[in-house]
Amino acid sequence: MRLKNRVAIVTGAGSGFGEAIARRYADEGAQVVVNDIAGDAAERVAKEIGAKGGSAAAHVGDVSRDAQVAGLVKSALDRFGRLDIVVNNAGTTHRNRPMLEVGEEEFDRIYAVNVKPLFLTAKHAVPHFRKQGGGCFVTIASTAGVRPRPGLTWYNGSKGAAIVTSRSMAAELGPDGIRVNVINPVIGETGLLEMFMGMPDTPENRRKFLAGIPMGRFSKPLDVANAALFLASDEAAFITGACVEVDGGRCV
């Protein structure tokens, strides 16, 4: 049990990478707050974790809103009595298209969801981490933040900002025993090829995309969850400010 007696918040945990991380953490003994803006999804994941003998609580909330992030942290403390890990996983994007075709409202939303939660979760979690002598943040960013592609300019920029912000946090919070690390996944088996690359999700187009991944497959949620488990565990006690590409070699 690598996370026994730890309490973790995982944002965007109602599906995809976040769901896999929440489940993996619970399997390793963590008590998990399953956050998602979609209440039904959060409740489903929390109930399924509980049915397997794990400990989880659903919390509906928009991580781009200060009061709602304050409520999220408070719910973890009220329910489980402490907080050890925050995984900033929730994210959004714009459809692959020329940069000037993305509207201001859409741009604002991308940065509000992909970057602002780092500020808000730090604001509300860091005081508790300092009080208990340490804690851990894991940011789920993207290979888009280190190897940007045309058509996703503002998404790429938001993920790059999340990476640099996380590493800056690591430098400042290290003396407090608070670690901050980043995972950069490549696109997963989630039917998002058309959204991210602007091409129909066909076998031929999948082959074209996979040609750029040396290991020859898309990422799976468990790939990211295993990396997030390691970075939150005592095995990574001296690792902070790191960026781990879970990408099958795409960024090489």
In this predicted model, what pLDDT tens digit does every residue of 234-249 receive, in sequence order? 999 999 999 999 999 9
Angle between helices 153-173 and 104-114 (to 10 degrees): 30
- Write down the pLDDT at residue 149: 84
Q: Is residue 198 part of a domain?
A: yes
CATH number at residue 120: 3.40.50.720
Catalytic residue, chosen from 25, 155, 196, 218, is 155
- Write down the pLDDT at residue 95: 85
Query: How crowded is residue 126: how many other Cβ atoms within 10 Å of its Cβ?
Result: 19
Q: Is residue 161 part of a domain?
A: yes
Say how far apart CA 23 and CA 44 lie, in whole Å.
Answer: 12
Q: Is residue 77 part of a domain?
A: yes
Total domain count, the chain: 1
Say how far apart CA 67 and CA 202 lie, in whole Å.
Answer: 42
Q: How confident is the model over 225-242, as a mean pLDDT?
A: 98
Q: Is residue 2 part of a domain?
A: no
Q: How confident is the model over 188-206, as a mean pLDDT?
A: 68
**Tell me: the pLDDT tens digits for 15-73?**
999 999 999 999 999 999 999 999 999 999 999 999 999 999 999 999 999 999 999 99
Q: Is residue 197 part of a domain?
A: yes
Q: Is residue 252 part of a domain?
A: no
Strand order in the sheet with 7-10: 55-60, 31-36, 7-10, 85-88, 135-140, 178-185, 243-246
Structure tokens at 157: 């920029």
Say how far apart CA 235 and CA 230 lie, in whole Å.
Answer: 7
* Residue 229, Cβ density class (10 Å: 0-12 exposed, 13-18 middle, ≥19 buried): buried
Which region, left, alpha or beta, applies to residue 237 given φ > 0 means left and ψ of -120 to 50 means alpha?
Answer: alpha
- CA-nearest of 105, 5, 97 to 55 is 5
Q: What is the mean pLDDT of the chain?
A: 94
Q: Is 155 among the catalytic positions?
A: yes
Give the structural domain span for 85: 7-246
Q: Is residue 118's pLDDT more than 70?
A: yes
Sequence letter at residue 210: L
Q: Is residue 126's pLDDT more than 90?
A: yes
Q: Is residue 103's pLDDT more than 70?
A: yes
Q: Is residue 1 part of a domain?
A: no
- CA-nearest of 59, 112, 87 to 221 is 87
